Amino acid sequence: MIYLLPHTILASADRDPTQEAFRCAGAALTYAELVQRADQLATVLYDFGVRRGDRVGIFLGRSLETAVAIFGILRCGAVYVPLNPKAPESQNHFLLQDCGIRILVTHPSQRRSLLKLLGARPQVQGIVGMSEVEDYPAVDWPTVFAAPPATFAVPRQVETDLAYLIYTSGSTGQPKGIMHSHASGLAFVRNAAARYAFGPQDRFGNHAPIYFDISQLAYFGAPLVGATAVLATDAHTVLPASLGRLFGEERLTVWYSVPLAITQLLNAGALAGQDLTSLRYLFYAGEPLAPRYARQLAELLPTTRIANWYGPAETNVCTVYDLPGPPQDDASIPIGEVWDNTERLIVDDQDQPVATGNSGELLIRATTNMLGYWNQVELSTRAWYTHVTQGGSTERFYRTGDLVREDPVGVLHFLGRRDHQVKIRGYRVELSALEAHLLTHPAVAEAAAVTVQRQADALSIVVAVILRAGDEATVQDLQEHLAAAFPWYALPESLYLRESFPRTGSDKIDRPALQSLLADQVPS
């Protein structure tokens, strides 16, 4: 019976031990090898004192080791927490402290970034995957794989146990840890596998780093059905010609990524000339895909089903829209309808259902939903809309914070964030957090952050600031002020000093008007 995420690889290894589970950069791990290596890692973690429920950090780039790390950590009952080795040290340091990571799983290729992170002296007590890391106890990969397998005690667990934490930037600028259980992770890939009839013959192309929820389709969906997951390397994500070739060379049947990966491929012409006949499905999520790109894709992939998947990481995925054909016009592509085993409400500010056709916040009740935010009781409480049934049981809906509208045929259309959260290159950025931080600068009177579309396929953040009368600060001063507090992807492309803002009737900043003013301004 499969009720924990690592059961997927055990079942697939029983069924077909020599089937390839993961491939990366030409190397592969069969299901039998993956189970053995995961258990060897679990043994080493157990010897380090890792027990059920402990959080273990993964500090890896895109590589085969990510699969061993994820399943090894889960096998000993612990919780995996992916870190982004390229994130600012302060952000990773915060993550380590926030969820109490004591053991990190890494690789020698990450030595430079790891030493920087350890320079901040976090509470780390051990390193796996690299030897000689200052004075930390460390076990390298060859030693892990020489260990006798499975001498750790497999803990007794149930499906609602915490399996992984995905961190996302929050409204205060402080990242928050989204808690997913084995059950919510499995529910996601089961929904997808049932809807699209995935099977052992499928080959899932994965572009997402493991700290993006998009990665979970390949890492758990492929093992669920005994298929093969093909992991793009970090180099593939920067070099489109190689990424394009991966489709044909690996005979990919399923692709799931952010639209940016797809538009990069199209703009570089990297899919032209590739044999794409094996590709059954192309899914994208995280941001809208411009209709003209969807048209280009549909022409290039006449037999591939293209689908827009929608869902905040808190829900995994909750709605899907299978494109009926190439978009006929430039209207945004809908987010579709909730998939199986999922209920939704569209409500106004008073949590009352809106009339069909009106805009409201989307609320989701599903087994794919998160448990809550790590160590954030108040934030977690606010994330739910609860409804007590006649019999006294409680139904919990996740408040997506996204505004949607239902059209006459029951298809949902995405209208934007309720607050000013936007997605830039697939990263969530809270515009209000940028504004709030600018206001901490002594010379700033008012600040407004908006997005503008300067390039056809990418949103940029631009910021306008009104200085306090008599105070002096340069654009560079303010940009440095932001750079000290936010990661690179959240920083504005341009920052303008203004005398005034356009205003609404109630004297609020008229953001749409400001947006069009700034869109026409030359980049600073």
Partner 1 sequence: MEQTIIDYIKNEIHAGDQSLDIDPEDDLLGSGLLGSMEMMRLVEHLENTFHFRVQPQDMAIENFLTVAAMARYVSAARRA
Which of residues 40, 66, 92, 110 is near partner 1 by CB under 8 A? Answer: 110
DSSP H/E element including 448: strand 444-455
Which of residues 175, 240, 288, 327 is near partner 1 by CB under 8 A? Answer: 240
Structure tokens at 150: 């499975």
Angle of CA points 96, 97, 99, to nearest 5°: 75
Q: How far is CA 407 from the centre of its chain?
A: 28
- Whole-angstrom CA distances from 492 to 41, 107, 496 are 42, 33, 10
Bridge partners, 228 (sequence order) = 203
- Please identify, among the stretches 198-206, 265-273, 383-391, 499-507, the one whose residues bind partner 1 according to the rule CB under 8 A: 265-273
Per rule CB under 8 A, count of chain residues that contact partner 1 = 24
The set of residues, in sequence order, having a beta carbon less than 8 Å from that of 197 and lying 6+ positions away, is none
Q: In the 3-class helix/strand/coil scheme, how is 223-282 assigned residue by residue?
A: HHHCCEEEECCHHHHHCHHHHHHHHHHCCCCEEEECHHHHHHHHHCCCCCCCCCCCCCEE
Contact status, residue 48 vs residue 143, Cβ threshold 8 Å: no
Contact status, residue 333 vs residue 377, Cβ threshold 8 Å: no
- Please identify, among the stretches 34-42, 172-180, 227-235, 507-515, the one whose residues bind partner 1 according to the rule CB under 8 A: 227-235
40 torsion bin: left (phi>0), alpha (psi -120 to 50), beta (else): alpha
Task: Please report how close the Cβ of residue 457 comes to partner 1 at its closest, in angstroms.
Answer: 14
Binding to partner 1 in span 124-153, by CB under 8 A: none
Q: Is 411 in the site for partner 1 (CB under 8 A)?
A: no
Structure tokens at 203: 């080959």
Which of residues 120, 238, 439, 445 is near partner 1 by CB under 8 A? Answer: 238
Q: How far apart are CA 5 and CA 239, in angstroms?
A: 32
Task: Please report how close the Cβ of residue 61 comes to partner 1 at its closest, in angstroms.
Answer: 5
Task: Please report how close the Cβ of residue 227 comes to partner 1 at its closest, in angstroms.
Answer: 25
Q: How far apart are CA 403 and CA 372, in angstroms?
A: 21
Q: Is 473 in the site for partner 1 (CB under 8 A)?
A: no
Binding to partner 1 in span 72-91, by CB under 8 A: 85-86
Alpha helices in 354-474 (DSSP H): 377-382, 431-438
Comparing CB distances to partner 1, the nearer of 36 and 66 is 66
Which of residues 208, 270, 335, 450 is near partner 1 by CB under 8 A? Answer: 270
Binding to partner 1 in span 476-495, by CB under 8 A: 488
Contact status, residue 429 vs residue 490, Cβ threshold 8 Å: yes
- Please identify, among the stretches 110-118, 202-210, 412-420, 430-438, the one whose residues bind partner 1 according to the rule CB under 8 A: 110-118
Q: Residues 25-64: x/- map of binding to partner 1 (CB under 8 A)?
A: ------------------------------------xxx-
- Please identify, among the stretches 36-44, 234-242, 318-326, 374-382, the one whose residues bind partner 1 according to the rule CB under 8 A: 234-242
Structure tokens at 58: 């993964």
Task: Please report how close the Cβ of residue 95 comes to partner 1 at its closest, in angstroms.
Answer: 17
Which of residues 17, 28, 52, 109 is near partner 1 by CB under 8 A? Answer: 109
Write the single-letter amino acid at 4. L
Comparing CB distances to partner 1, the nearer of 194 and 238 is 238
Comparing CB distances to partner 1, the nearer of 379 and 491 is 491
Q: Is 106 in the site for partner 1 (CB under 8 A)?
A: no
Q: Is 237 in the site for partner 1 (CB under 8 A)?
A: yes
- Please identify, among the stretches 233-241, 251-259, 289-297, 370-378, the one whose residues bind partner 1 according to the rule CB under 8 A: 233-241
Task: Please report how close the Cβ of residue 236 comes to partner 1 at its closest, in angstroms.
Answer: 7
Which of residues 100, 200, 269, 523 is near partner 1 by CB under 8 A? Answer: 269
Contact status, residue 339 vs residue 195, Cβ threshold 8 Å: yes
Task: Please report how close the Cβ of residue 230 comes to partner 1 at its closest, in angstroms.
Answer: 15
Query: Following DSSP, what letter does each residue of 44-107 receive, concatenated?
Result: HHHHTT--TT-EEEE---SSTHHHHHHHHHHHTT-EEEE--TTS-HHHHHHHHHHHT--EEE--
Q: Is 274 in the site for partner 1 (CB under 8 A)?
A: no
Q: Is 268 in the site for partner 1 (CB under 8 A)?
A: yes
Comparing CB distances to partner 1, the nearer of 108 and 137 is 108
Q: Is 250 in the site for partner 1 (CB under 8 A)?
A: no
Q: How far apart are CA 455 and CA 476, in angstroms?
A: 24
**Which residues of this protein are in contact with partner 1, per CB under 8 A?**
61-63, 85-86, 109-110, 112-113, 233-242, 245, 268-270, 488
